[in-house]
Amino acid sequence: MRLIRDDPTEFYVTLEPRDSGTVVFHLWHKSAFYPENAHVDGNPGGKCLDIWYDLYRHAITRRLVWQ
């Protein structure tokens, strides 16, 4: 299963550890930083998303596209 159809080098990531043994990968697509999107709320390019990863099960548990 491929979760991202884009080039991985086009993304920036921030990590959010959770108490439940989960790490959330907040994936920012480079299009979110384009000048024309500077004052646009939400996910202007439709490519930013969160991946929830369970450290105990070694598995992705959620894939959420930003609204």
Q: Count other C-beta atoms under 10 Å from residue 39's C-beta.
A: 7
Q: What is residue 45's predicted lDDT score, i.e. its pLDDT?
A: 80
Give the structural domain span for 17.
Answer: 8-65
Greatest alpha-carbon span in the chain: 41
> Is 16 inside a domain boundary?
yes
C-alpha distances in Å from residue 36, one per residue of 42, 43, 63, 64: 14, 13, 27, 24
> Is 1 inside a domain boundary?
no
Distance between CA atoms of residues 6 and 35, nearest Å: 20
Domain count for the chain: 1
Dump pLDDT digits (tens) for 5-59: 778 899 999 999 998 899 999 999 999 889 998 888 888 888 899 999 999 999 9
Q: What is residue 40's predicted lDDT score, i.e. its pLDDT?
A: 86
